[in-house]
Amino acid sequence: MCSPPWPATCLPSIISSRSGDDIVIETTHRVAGGYDIHIKEIGTGPAIIFIHGSGPGASGISNFRANADAFVAAGYRVILPDMIGYGASSKPEGVDYTLALFAGTLRAALAAHGVERATLVGNSLGGGVALQIALDDPGFVDRLILMAPGCVAPFDAYATMPGIAKMRSGFGGPDFDLAEQKRLVSNLVHPDFASRISDALVAERFAVARTQPKDVLTRMRTPDLSPRLGEVSHPMLVLWGLNDEFCPEAHSRLFLERCPDVRTISFARTGHWVQVERAEEFNRYSIAFLGNV
């Protein structure tokens, strides 16, 4: 899957069985700066890149486990990268985690992975990364599906959101434990859904969180892309939880006012994780949007 002359190399792949007849292909690509970006892939067909959000323990598969199979069944090649600082990818210390770093390392890894054109699906920070890639390389992007996308307000404005205040924790320290990880994950969803957060998901994210430096959050810096939304001409579906405490649902208006080809859906009694809390509806609406050529 490696294709020179892109500035990346391919490390050994691992193939493992999945439920049913699907096969998960795992590959790690080394990109400029010596960073490794890990990618899981399932299915065949047009490529869809699922770009996860931030937070302790985040990864591609843990953010989109409830969605991947539906898209594979609909005939898509599902690609689940771990962004730099997350999942099984490199987690450097002493660097600023900028939007340019996230988007640049991901784009290089996708090129090395042989992806020439794709739909981008992004949640929270992943939505901002998807927007940045669409602005930087519009020919690479087919369509955009965004769930509560970040990076459409000044960085300091997000710091005042109630969800961010609830995420303050002992992350990165010796007192960070499974109970604290469960509290952080529960903050991402509406209270009605919190009891459905599985112990397996909490344990999976805790294992990743223990490998992450504090810098991945304390040195994160993102720009406000809202003045450039009018430049994004790709067909776009934007989904938002009405009770999102991290990225306010009112920001959906920015897309309606500025993007030339957009439709939005808001969900009542839903927090920051539309693709998890409303998985069946998210899958159905998104696959219908992709099929509406």
What Rg value do the Cα atoms of the chain yield, rounded?
18
Judged by DSSP in three states, 18 sits in coil
Q: What are the residues whose beta carbons fall under 8 Å from the beta carbon of 178, sequence distance 6 or more?
A: 202, 203, 206
Token pair of 259 as six digits: 């993007």
Q: What are the residues whose beta carbons fall under 8 Å from the beta carbon of 196, sequence distance 6 or more?
A: none
How far is it, in rounded angstroms, from Cα 51 to Cα 73?
19
Q: What are the residues whose beta carbons fall under 8 Å from the beta carbon of 140, sequence distance 6 or more?
A: 107, 116, 117, 118, 133
Residue tagged active-site, from 38, 113, 190, 272: 272
- Assess whether the previous peptide bond of 5 is cis (omega < 30° from 0): yes
| Number of C-beta neighbours around residue 65 at 10 A | 18
- Nearest CA to 144 out of 167, 128, 164, 155 is that of 128
Cβ-in-10-Å burial (0-12, 13-18, 19+) of 219 comes to: middle
13-18 contacts at long range (C-beta below 8 A, 24 or more positions apart): 18/42
What Cα–Cα distance (Å) separates residue 17 from each residue in 14, 42, 59?
10, 11, 19
The question of whether 272 is a catalytic residue gets the answer: yes
Token pair of 204 as six digits: 């999976």
In this structure, are residues 20 and 45 in contact, taking their beta carbons and an 8 Å threshold? no
Q: Which amino acid is at 203?
A: A
Judged by DSSP in three states, 21 sits in coil
Q: Which residues are catalytic?
A: 272
